A and B are shown apart, each in its own frame.
Chain A
């Protein structure tokens, strides 16, 4: 299992809740480009099997492999937010960052052939639009603490045996 080592906030998806509707992709594409085109989305859904579905966006890794991999220093990481910024002048679309990312979170813009990545809608006060519009609340914009708490909750659910069903502790 590949895990991120991020101390920053990022968008996570709960595979138990995700229905694979791709609304996050269309909302992202619309927010960033004004068109509904899932190839222009910085978050991607993946259906590995009939019911194994999730969505993945940048996980703001520490010592981000994509930043290290870029031969033209086009990628930089914000030291406060962890967001990866791509300098479109320096980037030449070589896609080394795409190869370096364990999460498949970077894509190449099909029109200008340059790298694109989730910026957590940092210019918008409302924050990530995918999180806002997810119809099943599968997406969350979380800190490491929140992610840890979620893991603890899952642990409780897994440990308690039938017939005592753990109620979803909010």
Chain B
């Protein structure tokens, strides 16, 4: 059983808060029965989906154990969950065999079918301790799939769900077209915290199944909105608290007031706007300096070729043509070149001539 209601009734101990926050989003949950009794950690949406439904695991107890393990070992629970699901698919498709998962706990190996909670926990421990194949999987799906495919001549990259090496969050971009470009161009890869373009898709502010020329701007705006929140920093859970919409027109005046009250500075709308644009530009510049190109602004193979089979988004994919068009209008909205590079004039206009020098434009 995987649901907030089930969690609340059977596992939740109490909620705890960050400093000064009355929302208290951290649902501290404990396992009281079964082999994982005693495990306790905070459970939230992304960690939950990556380590339960994403793995076909319906036993919340195994999920809480997985999350506790990730938390205590300092692993990203989302990346860990997606990496385990990659391994599970490899097992079910015969790319990895039972004996590939030999470890101290299971000397014979693990039958790592989807839904095997005990197996998932054992694999998480292997990843944590870099034991056996856990050593490779600890590098994440991008490096692991490349190594496995080279060694075994397989095509496991097709279900290695990552963008720029960061495992994808719990939103299937095949049915969220605006978010698909938000993820593809993400400066740190498939991150739902740096691009919030799923928001207009899910809220119905745009049609999530189609694309049009406005989406580049929508995706760019959501990144800059998120960059302002991350810089201050403000919590994303209050992104709609000022006007009910996550848009700059409503939020920037209030955020300017907060900055001025805290610092005694005199920020206005345009200054706040500049925070978001500059913060995002410097991240992009970092990527360019490190050698990333428009080729890397891509989606996982599955989202481009493998239609969803069930649900409201059944039948949808993001085609190569759609992605190319979306990237194009996104670059235009940002004022970048057609191949996703930062033009010198833009950097100078943003007061970053030194950055232009560093990336050689």
Interface residues of A (CB under 8 A from B): 16, 19-23, 26, 38, 47, 50-51, 53, 135-136
- Distance A64 CA – B14 CA, assembled complex (angstroms): 34
- A135 and B14 within 8 A (CB): no
Residue-wise interface mask of B (6-33) relative to A, using a CB-CB cutoff of 8 A (1 in contact, 0 not): 0000000111111111101000100000
- Whether, in the assembled complex, B317 has its beta carbon less than 8 Å from a beta carbon of chain A, the answer is no
Given A19-B16, A19-B17, 13 other A-B residues pairs in contact with their CB atoms under 8 A: A16-B14, A19-B14, A19-B15, A19-B24, A20-B17, A21-B18, A21-B20, A21-B21, A21-B24, A23-B22, A38-B19, A51-B28, A135-B22
Interface residues of B (CB under 8 A from A): 13-22, 24, 28, 40
- Distance A53 CA – B20 CA, assembled complex (angstroms): 14
For B16, give its contact among A23, A38, A53 (CB under 8 Å). A53
Nearest Cβ on chain A to B173's Cβ, whole angstroms:
34
Nearest Cβ on chain B to A89's Cβ, whole angstroms:
33
Nearest Cβ on chain B to A90's Cβ, whole angstroms:
34
For B20, give its contact among A26, A47, A50, A136 (CB under 8 Å). A26
What is the chain A residue whose CB lies nearest that of B14? Answer: A51
- A21 and B19 within 8 A (CB): yes
- A50 and B28 within 8 A (CB): yes
For A50, give its contact among B16, B17, B18, B19 (CB under 8 Å). B16
Report B-chain residues with C-beta under 8 Å of the C-beta of A20.
16-17
What is the chain A residue whose CB lies nearest that of B42? Answer: A50
- Distance A136 CA – B16 CA, assembled complex (angstroms): 11
- B17 and A21 within 8 A (CB): yes
Report B-chain residues with C-beta under 8 Å of the C-beta of A50.
16, 28, 40
- Distance A63 CA – B24 CA, assembled complex (angstroms): 39
Report B-chain residues with C-beta under 8 Å of the C-beta of A26.
20
